[in-house]
Chains A and B, each alone.
Chain A
Amino acid sequence: MKLRRWFLFPAWLWMALLFFAPFVIVLAYSFLTRGPYGGVWGPWTLENYQRLFDPLYLTILMRSFAMAAAATALCLLFAFPAALFIVRATRHRNLYLQLVMLPFWTSFLVRTYAWMFLLRDTGLINTALEAAGIIHDPLPLLYNNGAVLLGLVYGYLPFMVLPIYATLERLDPSLMEAAADLGARPMAAILRVIVPLAKPGILAGSVLVFIPCLGAYLTPDLLGGGRTVLVGNLVQNQFTGARDWPFGSAVSITLMALVTVLLWVLLRRESEPLV
């Protein structure tokens, strides 16, 4: 075997042991029956997948997709102008990039708890507003869909900024000048030249935000307070509280299949020749 092939071996081994093997186990579990004391049991069955069509679970799936889509859209709305700003910055460009990545210096869990301290009834925001006499009763900022959305957008914003920045940075700066030269005002130039050319970065960022948001369980768990159950929480509950591993596995596999189909469709469109 050529030496070059061996370079792939560590990654291959890692993926085989820690991704592929667990995946096969989860896939197998999803076709088994729940044992009397948890665990898995024969016989093979499709029942776990049939259960997913229960309106209760369908609602959770729909809600998760809607939440992930909303988070992705908001991230895009905030990230694109930010990335454009950073690319255009002649000075301090590296500083701005560092600031985008600054949140990664602390654990996601700690940062989510910090949001709880800010948002809760006796938190910083409510206390400040009450002290200022603007409100008399605390605003319901925590434990609702809004709080979950805020947490997701906050957490995944850098994953949208960085790929868009990377695409914009490669663009010939004279393209923007050419657009202005041909009579385009700045907004028209951005919409008709920069946005279409940033499409690969927008797609990459959207995938990087949408997929983790779809499976997120920490943010909805802490900021949603158990009221906003998303599919990630459903899986977690099946493996911990409910001890129904086969159903939890079926939910996981279904989620994975949906994401794969979605990615396939997206990437197929993306691979149409742009230039």
Chain B
Amino acid sequence: MDPILELRSVLKEFPGHRAVSGISLSVPRGSFFSLLGPSGCGKTTTLRLIAGFEQPTSGDILLNGEAVNDRKPYERNVSTVFQSYALFPHLTARGNIEFGLRQHRVADIDKRVKDVLALVSLTGKETRRPAQLSGGERQRVALARSLVLQPDVLLLDEPLAALDPKLRKQMRLELKAVQRRVGITFLLVTHDQEEALSMSDQLAVMNEGRIEQVGSPQDVYLRPRTPFVAGFLGAVNWIGPIGVRPEATRIAHRGGPGSQRQAPGLVTGSVFLGDCVEVLVRLDSGEDVVAQVPRSAANFKPDDAVHICWDAAEELSFS
């Protein structure tokens, strides 16, 4: 596929530490791509390298097949939605959205502003200053301000982190819908695996300046290539060298047929989560595991002798 953005062995060193250790990455045109990883893994530095706020120590950044290493941020056709939004407090929502268009001396400013306001559902709020907008609305202004420039790649740095959980879930769907409608390539940086899994066409899991795995959300979640990826994307029960996700772990009062994968243990407790119940089991082999079971089937008391079982197909294994 034709990549709109490519990183080739990009390395970034700051005095005393290496933030990005020679990563290579290819982002397909028009896709929703996420960089997922814990804080300090180098994902934000990678984003800043692409935006041009930082210079790579070595390696190349290619936009539309052209190396852009030497281009200043204002010469690169990418645009960033900052984590803090970085809206200009002295300008109205409209002023913020027009800012980039004026810098680029675009002709049909009014029409483009009107269209983007409608796209992010901000029509009617254009005369408000950032301080007069809610958190969600500020986020839309930040998004609109970048989208209106029709960048090759839109960079989003933890854009939902500042929102409350309910709004965050709603904005996930909206972001994804907006991306589909405009067809612009989105590159999202996040530490929230649910966010990355729910929105991305492809995601790259980063750890300690390296990319551990790239793939579709299903790929990465179901077939993690390293224990780190498995553990970062969701909970894992470790039964010896075998990993099983809690939602794939079943629990029964007596053992099943010998052909099934199973292990005996004692219930140590349970946690009510509303939509399901997590039953905690200490296996006879000493490991603690968690089984997610439906509320109706959660008739387990501490010290019950149980068997946990799982399908061989659900096992996570690492080469």
Listed in ascending order, the chain A residues whose CB lies under 8 Å from chain B are 172, 174-175, 177-185, 188, 192-193, 196-197, 273-275
Contact = CB atoms under 8 A, between A and B. Distances in A.
Contact of B86 (A175, A273, A274): A175
B228 interface: no
Contacts of A172: 84, 86
A188 B87 CA distance: 16
Nearest to B87: A178
B88 A178 contact: yes
Interface centre among B80, B84, B86, B131 (most CB of A within 10 A): B86
Given A177-B53, A180-B72, A275 B82 contact: no
Interface residues of B, number: 26
B262 interface: no
Contacts of B245: none
A178 to B, nearest CB: 4
A174 B89 contact: no
A176 B80 CA distance: 12
B2 to A, nearest CB: 25
Contacts of A180: 52-53, 72-74
Contacts of B73: 177, 180-181
A194 B131 CA distance: 18
Contacts of A192: 99
Contacts of B100: 182-184
Given A184-B103, A275-B131, A178 B86 contact: yes
A275 B145 contact: no
B181 interface: no
Contacts of B99: 179, 182, 184, 192
B199 interface: no
A193 B80 CA distance: 17
A197 B90 contact: yes
Interface in B62-83: 72-74, 78-80, 82
Given A172-B86, A193-B88, A183 B104 contact: yes
Given A193-B88, A275-B90, A178 B82 contact: yes
Contacts of B130: 275
Given A174-B82, A174-B84, A192-B99, A181 B74 contact: yes
Nearest to A173: B86
A176 B103 CA distance: 14
A184 B82 contact: no
A184 B74 contact: yes
Contacts of B103: 182-185, 188
A274 B95 CA distance: 14
Contacts of A178: 80, 82, 86-88
Given A178-B82, A181-B74, A183-B104, A197 B89 contact: yes
Given A181-B80, A184-B103, A197-B90, 12 more contacts: A174-B84, A177-B53, A177-B86, A178-B86, A180-B74, A181-B73, A182-B146, A184-B74, A185-B74, A196-B90, A273-B129, A275-B131
